[in-house]
């Protein structure tokens, strides 16, 4: 966080203590930012992860945020506000990631269904079990037949 910013927890503590003198909502391309005055200092609210100025895209979200913190009076400066400005909101990489996530979830459902069906079949008393030796003998017979057909040139 730079020296000219304030984080959420500090703002909440200041509001709870009644130390916030004024809040200015400032319009900018793509949304709204906050300038908070307390004591003789004025700071911009920083985003939690990036520590850059936090930008609220919707005024309703900003108002809810301020009310939750305990601030219900503020001044709005909409001179530089542009709804469509700022960062692009379309993220084609997210669409691909979501498609892969849905495919993975569908595969997981299918796999779990297959496992459940196999368990039900194995638990069924009418299921016929085949010994490993019998399976090996059958595979050896099939392999010998296939090799004979290949040797004779037929398919």
How many CA atoms lie within 13 Å of 132's alpha carbon, on the beta-carbon side?
0
Domain boundary among 37, 54, 77: 77
Count the domains in the chain: 2
- Rounded mean pLDDT of the chain? 89
CATH number of the domain where residue 71 is located: 3.30.720.210
pLDDT tens-place string over residues 74-87? 999 999 888 776 55
Whether residues 37 and 98 share a domain: the answer is: no
Whether residues 10 and 63 share a domain: the answer is: yes
In a domain, residue 87? The reply is no
Whether residues 100 and 39 share a domain: the answer is: no
For residue 66, give Cα distances in angstroms to 29, 140, 151. Answer: 20, 76, 83
Whether residues 27 and 58 share a domain: the answer is: yes
Going by C-beta distance under 8 Å and a sequence separation of 6 or more, which residues neighbour residue 86? 28, 29, 30, 31, 55
pLDDT tens-place string over residues 56-102? 999 999 999 999 999 999 999 999 888 776 555 566 677 888 999 99
Structural domain range at position 148: 92-152
* Element at 22 (helix H, strand E): strand 20-28
Domain boundary among 77, 106, 123: 77
- At 120, list the tokens: 């039900």
């Amino acid at each position: 966080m730079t020296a000219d910013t304030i984080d959420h927890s500090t703002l909440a503590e200041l509001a709870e203590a009644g130390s916030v003198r004024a809040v200015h909502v400032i319009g900018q391309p793509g949304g709204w930012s906050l300038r908070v005055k307390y004591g003789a200092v004025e700071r911009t609210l920083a985003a939690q992860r990036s520590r850059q100025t936090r930008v609220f895209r919707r005024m309703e979200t900003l108002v809810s945020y301020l009310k939750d913190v305990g601030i219900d009076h503020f001044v709005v400066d909409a001179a530089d506000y542009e709804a469509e400005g700022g960062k692009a909101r379309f993220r084609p990489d997210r669409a691909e990631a979501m498609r892969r996530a849905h495919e993975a979830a569908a595969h997981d459902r299918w796999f779990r269904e297959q496992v459940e069906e196999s368990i039900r079949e194995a638990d069924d008393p009418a299921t016929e079990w085949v010994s490993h030796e019998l399976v090996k003998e059958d595979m050896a017979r099939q392999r010998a037949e296939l090799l004979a057909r290949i040797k004779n040139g037929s398919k």
